[in-house]
Amino acid sequence: MSNNSMLNNKTLAIIATNGFEQSELFEPKSKLEAMGAQIHLISIDDNQEIRGWDEKDWGESISVDKQIEQAKPSDYDAVILPGGQINPDVLRTNDKVISFIRASSQENRVKAIAAICHAPWLLAEADIVKDKKITSFPSIRTDMLNAGGLWEDEEVVVDGKLVTSRNPNDIPAFVEAIKSQLSE
């Protein structure tokens, strides 16, 4: 199977809001679309577009496809949660986002819930990290341990549906792990 068709017929949700780490949304999205995946960018607060954070300042904007209340976990093969500090901190206070993530963990169609950098905060808020091997940006390690996660300092950690990575340098391994989860 060619690289550009291995994820044909797969639909992925990326959930984000203003302040997402730019590389952690744009790079996985681009790489997964190149493999044939269809991606819906889902946001909150009636955002029509959201703006990234690019290391030290605001970055590029991207159009939103759906609002969280218009999305159902049963429509997706994977859920991807980009990090940055602002984006997951805002999203973890949104009950609809947390309910979506929690429901995705129970949905048979969803093969991966992938969170990078600070986005594992959302997994902890959804109460789905207890007794699971995970990683995250090092500064939230204690948060992951307090949520019952089994934290490891690795570029990518997969446990069941959960795929977690630490930072933008881990994006290639992160994308490869998502692809592997969807290919099983």
The catalytic site residues sit at 117-118
- DSSP secondary structure of 10-69: -EEEEE--TTEEHHHHHHHHHHHHHTT-EEEEEESTT-SEEEEEETTEEEEEEE--EEGG
Length of the chain: 184
The encoded tokens of residue 4 equal 């550009």
Contact 62, 30 (CB under 8 A): no
Q: For residues 152 and 150, what is the distance between their CA atoms, to the nearest angstrom?
A: 7
Neighbours of 40 (CB within 10 A): 16
Which residue is associated with the tokens 């998502």? 178
Residue 145 phi, psi (nearest 5): -65, -40
